[in-house]
Every structure is written in C-alpha cells, then in structure tokens.
Amino acid sequence: MTNPAHPAPIRRVGLVFSGGPAPGANSVISSVAVSLLDAGLEVVGFFHGYSNLESYDRDARPLVEGEHYRTLTEKDVGDQRNARGILIGTARANPGKPVKRRADLANPEKTAGLRRVLAGLTDLGIDALVSIGGDDTLKTANYLYLLQETLPADARRVRVVHVPKTIDNDYRGIDFTFGFFTAVDVMAKSLLNLRADALATSSYFVVETMGRKAGWLAYGVGIAGEANLVVAVEDVTGPLAMSETLTDAQGRTTTRARLDLGALVDRIVELIVVREQRDRKHHGTVVIAEGLGELLPESALEGLARDEHGHVALGRLDFGKLVARLVGERYAARTGRKKKVTGVQLGYEARSAAPHAFDVMLGAQLGVGAYRALVEEGLDGHMVSVSGQLDLRYVAFAELVDAETLVTDVRFIETGSDFQRLARFLETRAESSWAPGRRTEPGER
C-alpha cells in the first residue's frame, strides 16, 4: 500500500487532532488544509479527535455535519497559522485501546472501535486521513493502517499519514516536535519569575513540569530558566534509584527500577545547604519532571485515577508539592532551621500559548509535508518528519512501532549526551558524583 505505482486518486481528506493541545497546532492544520484546498481537494475536519468517529453507527448514530465534523473552506483555515488553540478541537478518545499485540487486529471485538472509525471515514467518502497527535495517536494511525491489510481485496481503503505532536518532545523519528520550544519558553519565563520571588523571600521553589516519559521539557525549562537543579526520569539511576519486586496474579515476579524519593529529597536538601554554606545564597529553584511521580513504588500509586491510555493522572498526584513538603521537613531535621519550600506545577498554561516563530514554521512544514506525502509521494503508513533546515522526510510506521507489540518507543535524553551535560554544567554542583554527564573540575579525570 506504500507508494504504489498507480495509487488511488485522492478527492477527500480527513483531519483528526488527538491528545493534549500544543502551540503551533493550527499552523499544521491550516497549512495542510490550505495545501489540499489549493489542489482542488475537499478537506473534512473531525471535531474532538476520534470521539465522534469511534462511536459511529450508520443507522443509530450517523455523523452530522456541523456537529461531528466540518467540510473546511479557505475562510475556515486561511491566516490561522499563528492562532491559539485547535481549530477542530481535540480529545483523548482511544478507539484502539483493546489492541495489545498484532494478533489482536484479527479479533473483531478488540477492533470494533477501529472498524467504526474506518466505516465512518469510508461512508463519508474519505480517501486519506491526516492524523495529528502523540505516540498513542501514532499507534492508532498504525492500527488503522494495519487493519486495512486484513480487509478483502475489493474493500475501500483510507490512506493514513501521521504528524507527530507533543510538547514533551519525546518522539522517535523527529528532532523537535512543534510546540516544544514555545512551551519551554512559557514555563522558563514563569520559572524566572519564581526565581525572583525566591530571591526576595530567601526561599525555594520546586517546580514540576510536564514530561511524563522523558525529561526534554524539564531540562529545557531548567536550562532556559536558570534553575539550580534539574531532575528528570533519565536521572533515576545510581543513588536516585531503588529496586521494587512485584508479583502478578500468576505468582510471577518482576524487578524494576523505581525512584528513591528519600534520595531525591536528600539531594535537594544538600543543594540548599551547599548554596548557603559555600555560596552564601539562601534561595533557589529546582525543576523536576512530572514523570518522576510515575516512577514511585507501586504502593504509592494505588488508587490514582488513570486516563484512556492507562496512564496515571499525574496532575492529581501533585508530585512537586509532595517533594517540596518533604524537602522542608528534611531540611528542618538536618539544620534545626525552617526553610520555605513551595511546590508549583507548570504545564497547562503552556499548551495553548501563542506559538513562537519557529513552531509556526515547523508546524507549517509538517502540514505541507502531510499534503506532499499524500498527493506528491503517494504514501501510506508514514509519519511526516523534518531534519536539518526543515528538510522534509517521511518515516514508515514500521520503523517507529514494534512489529509484534505495536508499541512505540520513547525517545529519552541520552545519558552523557551533550544536551544532558549542558544542564549539569549550568546547575549548582552540590556533590561530585551526582549524575552522568557532570562537568569535570580542573585536576579531575
């Protein structure tokens, strides 16, 4: 189905945006829609992700124009690249949730939601779908692509291309995702405000940023916002790690690395004490990634709400406030003095911020890339990407998703990479062996 010699002509293209908002979203939507419209094609924007498509029923719940989707015009999408929010809305609906492995695609019950999506698309005459979203949305796009391989030869098909979206920047196959730099800038400015507050009040702020699986946002905010310490999921090694053994219902045991919360608290307290004794400074800021909360021992996560994809609702955990409280208590026990330590959660205020010029340009190129992938390249089952100076490239789903588990790989900050070392160079050094990538002092090897 990929780049056939004579691909079926495309007349009508659907757009779906899924997951959390990201600055630059409308640059993608506007650019792909305008490109398609200029080529004389019809463009249909589905409202609120897959939520309407996954519940489609030809007789009981048909798709209604104006309520579930809109046929977009130049007036709808023109001059919208810098607009905030998402023109067609978003949601976290997950029609492929029951699918856990490739074999499940042959199971009618587990693919019922995906089949309703395909039925809705084909009944509306959709020839191709542009999927915009995070790694879970990429999985859904891949499910739709693979599911169609199981259909009869004469069945109508919908080509699928995907545009990567996440302010977390943890996507394989692309260097930077749209919205990342805007989100970093918005949160870094907030961090600088908190830094000034800390200076005025001789206090500390523990700032929790978004970044469930990887530390790109935390590191970016820490570097740009001049934090004294940054800790993300990639740093849960050595003294910050502990082992946890779990036993499942069949009696099988597994051992995995978890965050040693006490060690993290001690690390921050050591920072405060060193800055007081060595640097004569009584204020500071610490940035931690929200994903650290998901690495707590399982007993600490029991009972917490989870989203459509099974992820712990980290916003309700309020990990930053928990760490701040424990740091204050540990500091008082160690020094006999009180220190004001405040936990702050940052993230939502950055998701729909006005996009930076770079994110507008990146989003526009990705949107145009989706058009070119479908119309010029005749592609199916590919993700649109850029490298270098916004040079377009197209990555097959098969290169991004495990062939059997159908799970996408997270792109972590590499241990000892120059980006990780940058954060280590710029933060306050409180102990010589704190983390990989630390700077080397004169005379050390």
CA 233 – CA 210 distance, rounded (Å): 12
**Does a structural domain hold residue 1?**
no
User: What percent of the chain has pLDDT above 90?
Assistant: 79
What local confidence, expressed as pLDDT, does residue 313 receive?
A: 57
DSSP string, 286-316: EEEETHHHHTS-HHHHTT--B-TTS-B-HHH
Residue type, 286: V
What local confidence, expressed as pLDDT, does residue 70 receive?
A: 97
Q: Rounded mean pLDDT of the chain?
A: 90
The answer to whether residues 277 and 139 belong to one domain is no
pLDDT tens digits, one per residue of 38-67: 999 999 999 999 999 999 999 999 999 999
**Is 168 considered catalytic here?**
yes
What local confidence, expressed as pLDDT, does residue 443 receive?
A: 36
The answer to whether residues 217 and 264 belong to one domain is yes
Confidence label for 193 from pLDDT (cuts 50, 70 and 90): very high
pLDDT at 214 over 70: yes
Q: Contact 163/7 with Cβ under 8 angstroms?
A: no
Give the three-state DSSP class for 161. Answer: strand
The answer to whether residues 172 and 188 belong to one domain is no
More confident residue, 217 or 317: 217
Beta bridge partners of 275: none
Instruction: Assign residue 57 the CATH number of its domain.
Output: 3.40.50.450
What local confidence, expressed as pLDDT, does residue 300 receive?
A: 61
Cα–Cα distances (Å) from 66 to 45, 46, 70, 88, in that order, read 10, 10, 5, 11
**Does a structural domain hold residue 192?**
yes
Query: Residue 91: exposed, middle, or buried by beta-carbon count in 10 A (0-12, 13-18, 19+)?
Result: middle
More confident residue, 43 or 152: 43
The answer to whether residues 335 and 244 belong to one domain is yes
Average pLDDT over every residue of 89-106: 93
The answer to whether residues 362 and 344 belong to one domain is no
Average pLDDT over every residue of 78-97: 95
Average pLDDT over every residue of 340-347: 94
**Does a structural domain hold residue 134?**
yes
pLDDT at 172 over 90: yes
Give the three-state DSSP class for 230. Answer: strand
Residue type, 22: A
CB atoms within 10 A of CB 77: 25
The answer to whether residues 263 and 337 belong to one domain is yes
Cα–Cα distances (Å) from 398 to 233, 379, 409, 434, in that order, read 27, 13, 12, 38
What local confidence, expressed as pLDDT, does residue 344 receive?
A: 95
Instruction: Assign residue 331 the CATH number of its domain.
Output: 3.40.50.460
**Does a structural domain hold residue 163?**
yes
| Tokens representing residue 197 in the block | 């507050």
CB atoms within 10 A of CB 98: 14
Q: Contact 257/241 with Cβ under 8 angstroms?
A: yes
Beta bridge partners of 266: none
> Which has the closest alpha carbon to 163: 348, 374, 349, 5?
374
Structural domain that includes position 84? 12-176+355-399
Residue 44 dihedral angles phi and psi, to the nearest 5°: -115, 120
The number of folded domains in the chain is 2
What local confidence, expressed as pLDDT, does residue 263 receive?
A: 94
Residue type, 278: R
Query: Which residue bears the tokens 């089952």?
Result: 381
pLDDT at 304 over 80: no
> Which has the closest alpha carbon to 20: 39, 48, 61?
48
What local confidence, expressed as pLDDT, does residue 423 receive?
A: 93
CA 350 – CA 139 distance, rounded (Å): 25
What local confidence, expressed as pLDDT, does residue 3 receive?
A: 45
The answer to whether residues 260 and 133 belong to one domain is no
pLDDT at 121 over 90: yes
CA atoms within 13 A on the CB side of 95: 29
**Does a structural domain hold residue 445?**
no
Q: Contact 18/398 with Cβ under 8 angstroms?
A: no
Q: Contact 114/145 with Cβ under 8 angstroms?
A: no
What local confidence, expressed as pLDDT, does residue 432 receive?
A: 43
Pairing, β 42-46 against β 69-71: antiparallel
CA 383 – CA 387 distance, rounded (Å): 13
The answer to whether residues 54 and 105 belong to one domain is yes
The answer to whether residues 145 and 256 belong to one domain is no
Residue type, 247: T
DSSP string, 179-210: THHHHHHHHHHHHHHHHHHHHHHT-EEEEEE-
Among 111-125, 226-240, 245-259, whose mean pLDDT is lowest?
245-259
The answer to whether residues 386 and 421 belong to one domain is no
CA 443 – CA 441 distance, rounded (Å): 6
Give the three-state DSSP class for 65. Answer: strand
Average pLDDT over every residue of 233-243: 91
The answer to whether residues 225 and 194 belong to one domain is yes
Residue type, 426: L
Query: Which residue bears the tokens 């790694």?
Result: 135
What local confidence, expressed as pLDDT, does residue 441 receive?
A: 39
The answer to whether residues 102 and 172 belong to one domain is yes
> Which has the closest alpha carbon to 123: 179, 64, 77?
64
Q: Contact 11/40 with Cβ under 8 angstroms?
A: no
* Given 168, 185, 235, 260, the catalytic residue: 168
CA 14 – CA 47 distance, rounded (Å): 11
pLDDT tens digits, one per residue of 356-406: 999 999 999 999 999 999 999 999 999 999 999 999 999 999 999 988 888
Among 82-91, 133-142, 315-324, 405-414, whose mean pLDDT is lowest?
315-324
**Does a structural domain hold residue 50?**
yes
Using the CB atoms, write b or e for 334-343: b if 16+ within 10 Å: eeeeebebbb
**Does a structural domain hold residue 407?**
no
CA 222 – CA 231 distance, rounded (Å): 9
User: What percent of the chain has pLDDT above 70?
Assistant: 89
Confidence label for 273 from pLDDT (cuts 50, 70 and 90): very high
CA 283 – CA 191 distance, rounded (Å): 13
Using the CB atoms, write b or e for 123-134: b if 16+ within 10 Å: ebebbbbbbbbb
**Does a structural domain hold residue 5?**
no
